Chains A and B, each alone.
Chain A
Amino acid sequence: MQDITQSTNDILSSIPLLKPEWTLSLGFLLVIICDLFIKKSKQIVFAVAMLTLIISGAFLIADLQSIGESQIIFNGMFRLSLAGNYFKILVVFGAILSLIFFTQDQRLSKHPKGINDFFSIFLASILAAFLLISSANLLLVFLAIEMLSLASYLMVSYNAYQNKQAEAGLKYVLFGAVASAMMLYGISLVYGFTGSINLFDGQMQQGLSQVGVNASTLAIVLILSGIGFKLSFVPFHFWTPDAYQEAPTSVTSFLATIPKIAVFALLYFMLPQFQGINDNTFKSIITIIAAASMILGNSIAIFQDNPKRMMAYSSIGHTGFILMLFILPASLFLMALLFYLFVYTLMNKGTFMAIAYLEQKFGASTISHYKGLGKKVPIISAMLVILMVSLTGLPPTAGFMTKFLVFSALINLAFADVWVTSLLVIAGITTVISLFYYLKIPLNLYFNEGTSVFADDKFTSYRTLYSIIVLIVILIIVLGVFPFILTNLVS
């Protein structure tokens, strides 16, 4: 136990190391102040938020050189590491894209009180993501997950004036509250079993091994419930379709990417502790969850007519696919995980932007309404085709590269373990199934003639959305053919 002098010194020396987090906190406060005291502050607030993100990103990139080993700071609460920085840079990248998307989303921008408060909540959620990625203590984990969840609840229900929207938001809140409570119970069990809530001092692994298989499995499963809720893997996925469908499209694209990056990072850092327990019961748990998520996500998506709901189930399927990597020891799959999360962010943002474009410009809110739109917007339709192909995982797109990296990482274990082989077979079959529902969008865009008249909103140009979608697709194809451009940036 440190005395007060040591802890204070520790805190004071740690403060300058958290420049990105301080930037975000400052930005959060500035946004609130600007909104309160400046009239017609929409542009200023957007500029402040964007600057905040860019500056914190710059700090992160600058820190890449100076971080050597991982260090524990703030009295064992935080852990700074190179891998953590990469995850945070991914979050910032996704956040910048999200921020631009928020301004283009009509449902948000039509809100009578403006969305400046929304920006502040958004910045808080990014701060929560940063805290989650660098947490070294289970209490901080809980705090960060709660902060991220609260911000997400608010963002999802921000503009919920209709019954279904409010219902979806409420489902999300209630489900999240229960999941958080279960997670807290799991954390308290871990403290009870091991006497420590520190993730990186090795006591957790030791203590849980001593307690026996049943108790440690219970503790792990309870903690996984909180993690699973944010990642939306089975069986904690029930909120996902409704929340994704009813939230504003830009918020959906945020939900599908940034919390996932943060929580996958957390799971990645917690992995060495979990895997050492009791000859790896964690591996069986993850195998079952991954298989169930892939099967459920990809099968139910077939029956969906709403594109956002379909993407919700597809994201459950993708989560299951990424979870397959967590069977391996942590040091072996960092590159595959980072690459997958980056490409997944790109694909998801691009798809949701295209869905928002079609929804806002043509009032086409279901896939059946897309019929015949292929002729009206040939370029966006072509972009959507490439995005769907990438989500399925066909060459020559980046989505194929990521799937291949995951397969390669796992194939080595295939002959040693019948579970891994079955998991790979399930992954293959669900990829084929996913092709069917992903291709429903191009099918309706191109193959069928539209019978409905489209409300062509000629007043707003949506040029920003259009150009970002095209840029994303170009990046996806380039990364598909030359993936080393990205991976050589990471050592």
Chain B
Amino acid sequence: MGILSILIFLPLLFGAIILMMPKSLAAYFKYITVAVSLVQLVIASWLYYQFKTGEAFAGVDQLAQYQWVEKLDWIRLNVGSFGTLQIDYLLGVDGFSIALVWLSALVMLIASLSSWEIKANLKGYFALFLLLDTAIIGVFCSLDLFLFYIFYELMLLPLYFLIGMWGGVRREYAAIKFFLYTLFGSIFMLLVIAGLYLSVINPETGNHTFNMVTAMNPANYSVGSIFSALANQQIFGFSARSVGFIVVFIAFAIKVPVFPFHTWLPDAHVEAPTPISIILAGILLKVGGYGIIRIAYGIFPDVAISMSFWIGLLGVISIIYGAMNALAQRDLKRLIAYSSVSHMGFVLLGLASLTAEGVSGAMMQMISHGFLSVMLFFIVGVIYNRVQDRDIYNFRGLASKMPIFTGFVMIAFFASLGLPGFSAFIAEAFSLIGAFSSQSLNGLLPRWMAMVAALGILLGAGYFLWTLQRMFFGTLRLKKDDWSEKLKDINFREVITLTPLAILALVLGIMPSIVFDVINASVNQFLTLFK
């Protein structure tokens, strides 16, 4: 039993245990969940520490260079039409996945600590939470397209129930919208996966395979198959490879989310309970980014190069559109949701530039946004838990009532807008450098994209600082008088949750090599796909 399998299935085991425990022990469920998340974080940290860096361990399209690989024959189904359907249970991590696995473990721990506020129906909540945990780590570790798809879809069902049962006022609408939207993207991705299966041949065994890594090498495609680069088949009059790339890109673009596929995000984030918003913003959006890197760009690099301009354009539009929407919001949670859209636009821009700086910046932004958005949503949760209201104009001068809390808010806001010294600055700076130098390095993105995106940083400063001033500074004035007693300063559990995130943001801002050293080899190997 490999270490990655243990990491993935440990929460599932404890979820089953929680289901079987009697209701009388409901008080212990939250401790079990926190314990499981803590164990996962320890394992993930150990894996990250032991991760070998260097050119020999780059991974991406070299299966031998992946680490902690596990391979089991899983399904051998004789279906007549094309012989035997072969699906393997294949896990492995490279630079891109290990960073995101570690981020997921951290975010799940924070979310489980935040879940202590859930009061109703604890058994169902924690069982679904742990199932979600399994699915998320599984997505990042799987190297077989079919296994990836199963974990990817497995994430959706617990989220539907978690949002729909424990969420806010319009939770049913938000839950079904999220589910339908994401399923729409992924059902067409299933068709592309089936097509890839029929096109890709394992060079060692001569059979068709779902292996992601094998699919990245154009030499492995059988002659005349639907996605073979040489055969140039057509679907609906368009090149089959372009259609495949666009379908897969849209499936993941819905998750990132990229304008114009982002409309599910404000509803889902706002209506979800705080811990689920944390998971949504912290990890789920990164699944989209990871999918674009690993599958869309990895398997269809030729199409990616030709579409770079449009992807970069979508990234820039997301940045500006998300930021302008955030400026217009009254609801604090909705503002942070739109700021997520804006920040993930930087990921897309950095990726589209296809330069080492750009891709590294995109990865760094994913990790940095991972814990900064967690901090931001947790902060909203702190206020909402106390007074059940999130409207910015109902609060004024909270700094005098909750000073320690305001300190954390300041760190979170300044870090998110890209203050140098914090991780988001490194991430955004590198993405912009990559986008800016793309015109001279590979001619893919024009310079004006980076310049317009930089405006997004300015807008970010705008809405964050304005919110800080509106809600926290000045004299204390609240909408209702009884709020004054309810708004106590943050307690020990909340401090424990927020402090490590703040420290991480600072540490990564001063020593980004912690991340860059690990992903560097993989980024360089990734870029060789595009030569």
Contacts and interface: CB of A to CB of B under 8 A. Distances in A.
Contact of A411 (B153, B184, B191): B191
Interface in A379-422: 389, 394-396, 400, 404-405, 407-409, 411-412, 414-415, 418, 421
B357 to A, nearest CB: 38
Interface string B151-185: 00110110011001100000110001001100110
Contacts of A336: 79-81
A400 B193 CA distance: 14
B190 interface: yes
A144 B157 CA distance: 43
Interface in A296-336: 328, 331-336
Given A411-B226, A487-B79, 18 more contacts: A331-B80, A336-B80, A404-B190, A407-B194, A408-B197, A409-B81, A411-B198, A412-B81, A415-B233, A415-B240, A428-B188, A436-B176, A439-B176, A446-B165, A447-B172, A484-B77, A487-B77, A488-B78
Contact of A404 (B81, B184, B194, B226): B194
B164 A443 contact: yes
A421 B77 CA distance: 24
Interface SS of B by simple majority:
helix
Contacts of B160: 439
Contacts, number: 109
Contacts of A265: none
A389 B154 CA distance: 11
Interface in B230-246: 233-236, 240
Given A428-B187, A435-B183, A415 B235 contact: yes
A335 B179 contact: no
B149 interface: yes
B195 interface: yes
Closest 6 CB pairs of A and B: A395-B150, A415-B233, A332-B81, A428-B187, A411-B194, A395-B153
B250 to A, nearest CB: 12
A328 B82 CA distance: 13
Contact of B154 (A395, A435, A436): A395
A428 B191 contact: yes
A49 interface: no
A443 B176 CA distance: 9
A487 B345 CA distance: 46
A474 interface: no
A131 interface: no
Contacts of B184: 429, 432
B157 A394 contact: yes
Most A-side CB within 10 Å, residue of B183, B184, B236: B183
B180 A435 contact: yes
A396 B150 CA distance: 6
6 contacts: A408-B81, A409-B81, A411-B226, A415-B240, A435-B180, A487-B77
B115 to A, nearest CB: 18
A25 B251 CA distance: 55
A431 B194 CA distance: 16
A183 interface: no
A255 B443 CA distance: 63
Interface in B194-208: 194-195, 197-198
B486 interface: no
Contacts of A418: 236
Interface string A428-442: 110110011001001
Contacts of A238: none
Given A331-B80, A447-B165, A484-B75, A424 B191 contact: yes
Q: Which of A333, A415, A425, A487 is most buried by chain B, counting CB atoms within 10 A of its CB?
A: A415
Contacts of B179: 435, 439
A424 B189 CA distance: 12
Most buried by B among A328, A395, A421, A488: A395
A405 B176 contact: no
A394 B172 contact: no
Interface in A1-49: none
Nearest to B237: A418
B76 to A, nearest CB: 6
A336 B77 CA distance: 10
